[in-house]
């Protein structure tokens, strides 16, 4: 069984296959129709390097000790075997095109960033006109922030898809599929969009008239200044200090970037079909974390809220029994490592902290009682969150700076905090105990957040 491992950067669940009424993502939707779409999939840390390091090692951030954008997991785990390395040791050709481990985006485009050389037999770092030619033209509404954490965008009026970095990623991935179609492969294809700056050809902007772009309401108690720690430490607030009109322009550009990268994913999927590889290839599509687009007045990532922690995740094995099915079970990105080794029938390293999703691929509604855990670092204190199918419970500084409880059956936008409600005390106690099973004590590792706001 081959593996085509498709990653996107900073993409939330605003996709057609997830029910979004405006976003056009026909190729990702096509993949969802071939496999299982997970509706409740969550990252372990909504920041690029911690999330990607966790996924590729199958270990939680407290084990990898990657909490920022500088610390490398092999500093503390020099002998760890990564997902692609595991396949390589089993006789697979393992290669990377684009961003799988952390890169400063866009700063490190064209380089290997924080890549792990032991994970690959071959790698490619494309750089297109979005990086080499267009950056001086970018509209940046947050000029005091680096481009990698900004509200910035550009509609390219003259360039072709294939001239952009993600277009080059697709082209190189197709070339590798053609070259290695006769041997087992683990091909990781890492796209850079929709990460800011949101750059795409003009035709993708044309899909989203600005008058159709709206911003979500902000809870009235937040507007009055009753901000939980996740928001209180986010300055300027709301929308990183830009106006609502500028935020709507940013959201339009973000959606344009989604449709652009969807088209590049479509090119790779077309090549897989053309080469007759689909019948023995499992395709995985994932994002490293979610992304706020004005929810709670927030922009980007690094919160424990649903929009930041939740990710799109699609697994499409060959001849899937559950094609075009949806699973509402609560799963995590660290589950991908044991899932893929299970499907391929190769031995996995001991100590993986996720669980194989194979039962859910066979029956998406199968019994599954594992919650999902997400953590962040806000300045000098952590936030730890647990998500079950009904509840989200979050503690700040182990509860010393407050807690949040949201009931997703009645409050999917997480606007009404029930943590101090006496009638929910038993639920809080239960979730607090579950949280401690995964995060029992503080863990030292990479420094808290020295890279926040820099090379994202």
**Residue 340: partners with Cβ closer than 8 Å, 6 or more residues away:** 3, 83, 87, 282, 284
DSSP 234: S
At 405, phi and psi to the nearest 5?
-135, 125
**Residue 369: partners with Cβ closer than 8 Å, 6 or more residues away:** none
Select from 260, 234, 295 the least CA-distant residue to 166: 260
Examine the residue annotation and report whether 17 is marked as an active-site residue of this protein.
no
- Across 115-262, the runs of DSSP E, i.e. the strands, are 122-124, 139-140, 152-156, 185-194, 198-201
Q: Do the beta carbons of residue 42 and residue 333 sit within 8 Å?
A: yes
| Helix (H) or strand (E) run with residue 374 in it | strand 372-378
Select from 337, 311, 315 the least CA-distant residue to 326: 315
- The alpha helices in 3-110, defined as continuous H runs, are 26-32, 48-57, 61-64, 83-89
At 378, phi and psi to the nearest 5?
-110, 95
Helix (H, G, I), strand (E, B) or coil at 144: coil
**Residue 225: partners with Cβ closer than 8 Å, 6 or more residues away:** none
Examine the residue annotation and report whether 48 is marked as an active-site residue of this protein.
yes
Q: Please state, in angstroms and as integers, the Cα–Cα distance from residue 307 to each residue in 104, 345, 420, 442, following that order.
A: 22, 34, 23, 25
The C-alpha atoms of residue 37 and residue 17 are separated, in whole angstroms, by 8
DSSP 321: T
- Structure tokens, 123: 């790698």
**Residue 316: partners with Cβ closer than 8 Å, 6 or more residues away:** 31, 32, 34, 35, 36, 282, 283, 284, 285, 323
The C-alpha atoms of residue 24 and residue 176 are separated, in whole angstroms, by 28
- Structure tokens, 358: 């194979």
Q: Of 102, 195, 289, 296, which is the active-site residue?
A: 102
Q: Of 17, 43, 48, 86, which is the active-site residue?
A: 48
The C-alpha atoms of residue 214 and residue 37 are separated, in whole angstroms, by 26
Which residues are identified as catalytic? 48, 102
């Amino acid at each position: 069984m081959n593996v085509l491992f498709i990653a996107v950067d900073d993409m939330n669940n605003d996709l057609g296959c997830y029910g979004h009424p405006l976003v056009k993502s026909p190729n990702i939707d096509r993949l969802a129709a071939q496999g299982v779409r997970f509706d409740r999939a969550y990252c372990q840390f909504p920041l690029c390097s911690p999330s990607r390091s966790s996924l590729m090692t199958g270990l939680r951030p407290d084990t990898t000790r990657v909490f920022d954008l500088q610390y490398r997991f092999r500093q503390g785990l020099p002998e760890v075997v990564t997902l692609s390395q595991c396949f390589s040791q089993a006789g697979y050709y393992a290669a990377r095109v684009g961003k799988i481990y952390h890169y400063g985006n866009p700063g490190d485009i064209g380089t290997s960033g924080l890549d792990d050389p032991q994970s690959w037999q071959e790698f490619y770092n494309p750089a297109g006109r979005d990086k080499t030619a267009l950056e001086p033209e970018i509209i940046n509404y947050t000029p005091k922030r680096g481009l990698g954490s900004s509200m910035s965008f550009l509609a390219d009026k003259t360039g072709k898809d294939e001239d952009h970095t993600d277009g080059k990623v697709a082209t190189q991935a197709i070339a590798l599929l053609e070259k290695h179609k006769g041997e087992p492969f683990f091909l990781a294809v890492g796209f850079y969009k929709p990460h800011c700056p949101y750059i795409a050809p003009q035709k993708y902007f044309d899909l989203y008239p600005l008058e159709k772009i709206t911003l979500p309401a902000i809870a009235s108690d937040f507007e009055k200044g009753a901000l939980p720690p996740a928001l209180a430490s986010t300055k300027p607030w709301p929308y990183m200090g830009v106006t609502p009109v500028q935020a709507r322009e940013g959201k339009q550009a973000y959606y344009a970037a989604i449709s652009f990268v969807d088209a590049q994913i479509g090119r790779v999927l077309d090549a897989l079909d053309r080469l007759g590889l689909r019948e023995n290839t499992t395709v995985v599509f994932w994002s490293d974390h979610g992304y706020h687009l004005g929810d709670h007045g927030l922009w980007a990532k690094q919160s424990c809220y649903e929009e930041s922690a939740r990710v799109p995740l699609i697994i499409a094995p060959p001849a899937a029994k559950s094609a075009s099915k949806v699973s509402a079970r609560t799963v995590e990105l660290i589950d991908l490592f044991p899932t893929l080794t299970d499907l391929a029938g190769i031995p996995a390293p001991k100590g993986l902290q996720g669980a194989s999703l194979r039962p859910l691929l066979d029956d998406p509604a199968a019994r599954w009682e594992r919650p999902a855990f997400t953590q962040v670092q806000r300045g000098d204190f952590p936030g730890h969150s647990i998500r079950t199918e009904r509840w989200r419970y979050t503690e700040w500084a182990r509860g010393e700076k407050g807690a949040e409880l949201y009931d997703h059956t009645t409050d999917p936008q997480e606007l009404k905090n029930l943590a101090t409600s006496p009638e929910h005390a038993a639920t809080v106690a239960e979730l607090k105990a579950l949280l401690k099973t995964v995060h029992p004590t503080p863990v030292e590792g990479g420094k808290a957040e020295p890279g926040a706001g820099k090379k994202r």
